[in-house]
Structure 1
Amino acid sequence: MRPTAQLPRRARRALTVAAAATACCAIAAGCTVANSGHGGYDADTLRIVLSQEPPTLEPCESSLTSTGIVVRSNITEPLIERDPNSGDLQPLLATEWRQSAPNQWTFKVRDGVTFSNGAPFTARDAAFSIDRAVNSDLNCNLDGYVFGDEKLELDTPDDNTLVVGTETPDPILPLRISFVEVVPAGTSMQEKVREPVGTGPYAIDDWEYGQKLLLKRNAGYWGPQPAFARAEYQWRSEGSVRAAMITNDETDIAVSLGPEDGAGDLGVPFQNNETTALRMQAGEAPLNDMRVRQAINYAVNREGIVKALFRGLGDPASQLIPSGVVGYNGDLPLWPHDIDKAKQLIADAKADGVPVDRQIRLIGRTAQFPKIAETIEVLQSEFAEIGLNVKIEMMDTSNQLLYQLRPFPPETGPYLLTIMHGNQAGDAAFTLDQYMLSDGPQAAYGTPEFDKKIRAAEELTGRQRQDAFAKLFAEEPEEIMQMAYIAHMKGILGKSPRVDYTPNSATGDEMRLAEMTPAGSTTPTVAQ
């Protein structure tokens, strides 16, 4: 048996919980994993309600919040995981890694791991998974978001060794690799899979599309078995409905609650890493005029939205990353709320022949964040006040993603898109590659000159990297301005008293079921 100290942090914690639960049952016959007063549900099933059904569980799309919150480190696992509290990289399917040459990193993979279908995991599966996510024609969101369309060279000298070559020296390649969820070699390279096979502590049991998703313990899991035998996901778009399910004991975990949804003492506030913003399709008139984009920024009352709609559960944003991420610019001021200035800019643009009366679509995703419908309505009112013609369109996830991810639909006309970006990695390179490069997977506008600045900053390390990224966030509104930032969000997680779980900054994107345990079953944390 592997010594406890060699296990990843979350595996060691799960091991102490499993031992405590076993001791409980040995002391008291009939002990269950839930409180003794439960009724009408299986006490060994962890019940979770999401704001939306995952559009897919394809692992290479796990950087999408609605997919990653289910699949990451539950069904599939990466080689390396990032501790959301410290930011440190920790071993998972890989036990160690090193930069073996300027353009090369070598990883050692863990022995004794199998996939949920019984197939053994080797370095060849890791290489295949990276090749599939990064080098294939699947157009995975992970490819653009994490790797910026870079092609990687992969080699497996033996079953326990993976060598990854990069086009240029990459000081944060292990951080990028932490986003790649491992699947078995032989998984389709032509089509994305909706229900993947992985090495995680859970496997898919049943997915009743449109109704619920059931996971079960992976009996062959290489680490400690999770405390709950099963997990059941449902989805309800209304936050008040999700909160009511918590207070009525119809679910154990409810995500993405708002301050007015009614969870009461069962609502746990936490600082997440999400930032909300409006992305402007700057290639379409009238949004192709800088003055119009400036006017939109002047019109957005960020402080009012945070105070009145979010009830203080957030901070007005001046950039697309929150504090704690490498590259955050703490000196960047908020864009001022100035309706008169906005009106003047629109009038000046109109006088120069800019078609400011042209209808602009304001696209939002249902249940994307609490109070999104009200936020959209406030924004529409503010834009109407400055003289713009804006029409609201609310969409479900699959349709909204058509406008968020390249290639965008043809002949869309001008549109403003609500986005919510979470930088799970803790480094601004992931944000810049995705949203600020002119051809970034979620970028609507850019310039070759600004692209060069991004690439130059990404080659730096340490303080130079921090300073260069911070400067870019200050320059983007002056040179590009495709965003109107709204708020750095704070979340509320609904949590049943029968479950012990402490949400962290990654919870909105990656909710690890193995960290959820029956209330009262925890023991002091094992020394790390």
Structure 2
Amino acid sequence: MSPARSLQQGTRYRAAIAATAAMTVSALAAGCSVANSNHSDAASPDTLRIVLPQEPPTLEPCDASLTSTGVVVRSNITEPLVERNADTGDLEPKLAESWEQTSGNVWTFRIRPGVTFSDGSVFDAADAAFSIDRAVNSTIGCDVDGYVFGDDPLVVAAVDPGTVTVTTPTADPILPLRISFVEMVPTTTDAQDKVREPIGTGPYRVDYWDHGQRLSLVRNDTYWGSVPEYARAIYQWRTEGSVRAAMVTNDEAELATYLGPEDGAGDLGVAYPNNETTALRMQANEPPLDDYRIREAIDYSVNRSGIVKALFQGLGDPAAQLVGSSIVGFDPALQPTPYDPGRAAALVAEAKADGVPVDKEIRLIGRTGQFPKINETIEAIQNALSEAGLNVKIEMMDTAGQMQYQIRPFPDAGPVLLMIQHGNQAGDAQFTVDQYMRSDGYQSYFGTNTYDARIDAAEELVGDARQDAFAAVLADEPTELRQFAYIAHMNAVLAKSPSVRYEPNSATGDEMRLSEMTRADTDASS
């Protein structure tokens, strides 16, 4: 891995956001006029109505690692070669029947025969090679490139219609996992720009998109796999969680996502782990946060159990690490830092006696609407830090403002405590530590060469050795860096109509597969 990868990934990430925003504005200008729409979202046994917190900014498949895009696109409109099982973490065949590491730097994928795109064209290795090259090697600012892949280009080749090879600059033991983030599109897709309504191999295709109103997917009659039960899915969006919940309770929708326990879903609410972990990230290159004792005091000041119980209403678990239980590298033996306000105050007093400027104002930054009860959580932490003897000021920002402090280059305006919420979609700790714990990670304030070397060593391993190495890296973060005060592994709430059978899992927030949803009034086995 290039030492500059994380910083350059941050640049690519910001480019992807800018490109997405530009594309959205363009689509709004050129897209369907909602005033002229005569589409209906009336209830029908064959139609699934879903309400989201926001309209997808794009349906571009190479941006499907954006949560608001992926929840509609991934495994519905488009599909990858390889798919990760959210329950087991195993990689499973999708548009590739098999794959193997045929040499140190080369992975070979065998393409599933008999697959067609929704426009009727045949899917083969040429499309797979094109899709990977477009997502990873192009300059169109794909989010999957910044999130999953590094700086070095891949060499992709269609050996024959049923075989595609991917060559990496150095051996990459988790390339198939990375490839699982690349959605397949036909070679006719624009290679120089992002697309508004993609063509894919999935069980659904885009029917219509009334911008600002609704988005409809209809069953793809040429789909190669099992026929999904619902003929159509209609997505709408409402900002307020209570409104989304009410739409389900009032039979205006069958599913509503990203709810909090206070949003009123009642008996229709289904809680599930959502892969998100909340934490305070500490700017340890600015006094007083550059003193380890102050960072340790902040960690001791966080009442994790109290926050989960009182504010999250039990929907979560106190966290001892930045990854959840479904991620390679998670260590179930780690215990959260105990809540010890006396110890916190003693550490602050000791640092003050040594001349550390503990009275210097520390900015505690949160993002409005980041998760349910974010304001109350921030206020509880500020109060605890004040009691420990620190001078902390709360600043709540919108997404654009908070993102300035989330990714490099960071503003020169510290010291800062930043509330983060990290969801590892990929299922491997590498995607966490590269971003948040490397000395040059694009969401990391600092690190050490020694810790970076341990990360490098873990990333070269596979199987149990990889699990053990990453577990050790994560376990030692508090002693080697203590950049974070972990708070909670979060649960989400989905409102679900009794008419629908669906079991959400840890991937639901990023990838909500319509094919897994069936009507409760039918026998799913028939």
**Common fold by TM > 0.5:** yes
Alignment partners' CA distance in 1, 2:86 and 2:183: 17
Q: Which residue of 2 aligns with 1:297?
A: 299
Change (3 A) 1:96 1:451: same
What is the distance in 1 between the residues matched to 2:378 and 2:212?
26
- CA-to-partner distance for each residue in 1:216-254, whole Å, 9 max, x for gaps? 223433333322222222223333222222211111111
1:298 partner amino acid: Y
Report Cα offsets for 1:300-320 as digits up to 9, x if no partner. Answer: 111111111112121100001
1:194 to partner: Cα distance = 5.0
Give, in whole Å, the separation in 1 of the partners of 2:286 and 2:366. Answer: 15
> Residues 283 and 289 of structure 2 are in contact (CA less than 8 Å); yes or no, is this contact kept in structure 1?
yes
Larger mean CA deviation between 304-313 and 445-454 belongs to: 445-454
Are residues 1:358 and 2:361 paired?
Answer: yes
Q: What does residue 120 of structure 1 align with?
A: 122
User: Corresponding residue for 1:169?
Assistant: 171
Q: Identify unmatched segments of 5+ residues in structure 2.
A: 1-40
- Tell whether the 8 Å contact from 2:87 to 2:326 is kept in structure 1 after alignment: no
CA drift at 1:267 = 1.2
Q: Is the 8 A contact 1:376 1:392 kept in 2?
A: no
Deviation digits for residues 442-493 of structure 1, max 9, x if unmatched?
3333233212111101112233222211110111122222222111122322
Name the stretch that deviates more: 309-318 or 332-341. Answer: 332-341
Amino acid at match of 2:398: M
Secondary structure of the residue aligned to 1:294 is helix
Contact 1:267–1:493 (CA<8 Å) still a contact in 2?
A: yes
Equivalent residue, structure 2, for 1:110: 112
Query: Which residue of structure 1 aligns with residue 63 of structure 2?
Result: 61
Paired residue for 2:227, among 220, 225, 234? 225
Q: Deviations over 1:393-440 (max 9, x none)?
A: 1424x5544543x44464454433333323333322222223222333
Give the letter aligned to residue 520 of structure 2: A
Q: Which moved more, 1:252-261 or 1:275-284?
A: 275-284
Q: What is residue 460 of structure 1 aligned with on the other side?
A: 461
1:259 aligns with one of 256, 261, 264: 261
| 1:278-297 aligned within 5 A | 278-297=280-299
Q: Structure 1 unaligned segments of length 5 or more: list them.
A: 1-38
Q: How far apart, in 2, do the equivalents of 1:136 and 1:194 lie?
A: 17
SS of 1:133's equivalent in the other structure is helix
CA contact (8 A) 2:318 2:336 kept: yes
Is contact 1:53–1:235 with CA below 8 Å preserved after alignment?
Answer: yes
Partner SS state of residue 142, structure 1: helix
Residue by residue over 1:145-187, the C-alpha shift from the partner in whole angstroms, topping out at 9 and shown as x without a partner, is 3234443221111222110112232222212211112233354
Contact 2:287–2:356, Cα closer than 8 Å, also in 1: no
Which residue number corresponds to residue 341 of structure 1?
343
Is residue 380–residue 392 contact of structure 1 (8 Å, CA) maintained in 2? no
Q: Deviations over 1:53-109 (max 9, x none)?
A: 333333333333333222211122111112222322221111111121122110011
Deviation at 1:282, TM superposition (A): 3.7
- Shift, 1:117, TM fit: 4.2
Q: 1:513 aligned to 2:514?
A: yes
Write the distance in 1 (CA, Å) between the matches of 2:481 and 2:133.
33
Is the 2:291–2:356 Cα contact (8 Å) retained in structure 1?
no
Distance 1:117 1:384 in 2: 61
Match 2:205 to one of 203, 206, 219: 203
Q: Is the 8 A contact 1:239 1:370 kept in 2?
A: no
Cα distance between partner residues in 1 of 2:190 and 2:432: 29
Moved more, 502-511 or 50-59: 50-59
Match of 1:502 in 2: 503
Aligned-partner residue type, residue 490 of structure 2: M
- Cα pair 2:104 2:171 within 8 Å, conserved: yes
Which of 380, 385, 390 is the aligned partner of 2:382?
380
The C-alpha deviation readout for 1:482-510, integer Å capped at 9, x for no partner, is 22211112232211011111112211221
Distance 1:304 1:187 in 2: 51
User: 1 CA distance for matches of 2:140 and 2:451?
Assistant: 28
Paired residues of 1:422 and 1:509 also in contact (CA < 8 A): no
* RMSD between superposed Cα atoms in Å: 2.7
Distance 2:258 2:457 in 1: 37
Partner of 2:452 in structure 1?
A: 451
Percent of paired sites with the same residue: 59
TM-score (norm 2): 0.84
